[in-house]
Amino acid sequence: MITIHQWEMRSPREPLCLTERRIDSLSPGEALVRVAGCGLCHTDIGFYSGAVRTNHALPLTLGHEVSGVVERTGPGAEAWSGKAVIVPAILPCGDCAACRRGRYALCPSQVFPGNDVHGGFASHLVVPARFLCEVGEASGESLERLAVVADAVSTPYEAIRRSSLAEGDVAIFIGAGGVGGFGVQIASALGARVIAIDPDLERRRLALEHGAEMALDPQADDLSSLRKAIREHAAEHGLPSEEWKVFETSGTTAGQAIAFGLLARGSHLGVVGYTPEKVSISLSRLMALDARAEGNWGCAPGRYPEILQLIEQGRIDLEPYVERHPLSQINAVLADMMEHRLHRRAILVPDFS
């Protein structure tokens, strides 16, 4: 018998409740992961606020940005026993037609912890073991901090890889918070010349310290002024005036309008942020500019080792973008997140005695 302590969501906007869940045994291929840390994501706020429904009926334990240690395994997953792992936010089945084509995000049997099954705001969670990402001893990172790789780092990484970003390219991030801040670092690590756009002064300062060479305030400049400032900067520094890689990482309609408006000839727009709100754009600009737009649902499991390597090499620095809180404080941290009082990605660290 396994007892899991978890903070359950029973209904939207109600404080989460600490409950116990008992499991008799694990199914084939499953792993019981003892949670080291679980990041709090805007998607969790979407679920918590009631704006987005979870696939699994309530009550449900949220949390899909998890790192931890495999404590027990089901039949066939024994090799994972005792390993330190990151739990990717999207766990595909690996066997269906989509998975066999490498289109893991389209897997109809995918497991999204904290949405399809109980997630990481808990002492443990049970997930399919197959696509866990093993963390080597050499990472030099605290395991709890690596939780943010499961979504905040890996999702912009996938978007950047899909844009075919190359050394010397101009990469523009609209939104330099949890996700965009890591995007700035990743693009810079891959050799891009990075521009960050964010209304928050502290975020702009952090972006400039960690890979951006220019940071602009969208509240001080309208779209045409932003475009002019970037064009002038590009001309002054010998950067390309076309084929900019633009990433929408704010998840706001204002950010989406800016991202679309900054597309140049041959540009790529990576849609990373999510909002249920709609924005009015002239879609034909894609045609006129010979540009393209692409969204990505999470990150392919095979890319996680590349990301860990960038972290091990010190080319992505997690620490400036995260803050830790005891899991017992989750209701207070949720309230802070709802009220926009958090400046960094919150990692909830289990503190069950």
Which residues of this chain interact with Zn ion, rule CB under 5 A?
41, 43, 92-93, 96, 99, 107, 151
> What are 15's two structure tokens?
């404080």
For residues 190 and 315, the answer to whether their CB atoms sit within 8 Å is: no
CB of 287 to Zn ion, least distance (A): 32
Q: How many CB atoms lie within 10 A of CB 325?
A: 18
Helix 178-189 to helix 201-209 angle (10° resolution) is 20
The answer to whether the beta carbons of residues 4 and 123 sit under 8 Å apart is: yes
Q: Which is nearer to Zn ion, 112 or 244 (CB)?
A: 112
Sole residue written with tokens 């949405």: 115
Decide: 154 and 89 in contact? Cβ < 8 Å. Answer: yes
- Rounded least distance, CB 295 to Zn ion, Å: 14
Q: In the complex with Zn ion, which residue's Cβ is closer, 53 or 265? A: 53
For the packed helices 253-261 and 223-236, what is the interaxial angle rounded to 10 degrees?
Answer: 50
Closest CB to Zn ion among residues 176, 215: 176
Rounded distance between C-alpha atoms, residue 198 and residue 181, angstroms: 10
Q: How far is the CB of 65 from Zn ion (least distance, A)?
A: 6
Cβ at position 42, least distance to Zn ion in Å: 7
Per DSSP, the residues of 143-168 read TTGGGGGGTTTHHHHHHHHHTT--TT
Residue nearer to Zn ion on the CB measure, 170 or 176: 176
Nearer to Zn ion by Cβ, of 52 and 281: the residue is: 52
CB of 38 to Zn ion, least distance (A): 11
The least distance separating Zn ion from the CB of residue 103, rounded to whole angstroms, comes to 9
Q: Nearest approach, Cβ of 130 to Zn ion (angstroms)? A: 10
In terms of CB distance, is 22 or 101 closer to Zn ion? 101
Q: DSSP letters along 240-265, please?
A: -SS--EEEE-S-SHHHHHHHHHT--T
Q: Which CB sits closer to Zn ion, 93 or 279?
A: 93
* Number of neighbours of residue 74 by Cβ within 10 angstroms: 18
* Dihedral of alpha carbons 12, 18, 23, 28, sign: positive
Minimum CB–partner distance for residue 238 and Zn ion (Å)? 37
User: Which CB, 26 or 93, lies closer to Zn ion?
Assistant: 93
Instruction: Please name the amino acid found at residue 168.
Output: G
Residue 238 makes CB contacts below 8 A (sequence gap 6+) with none
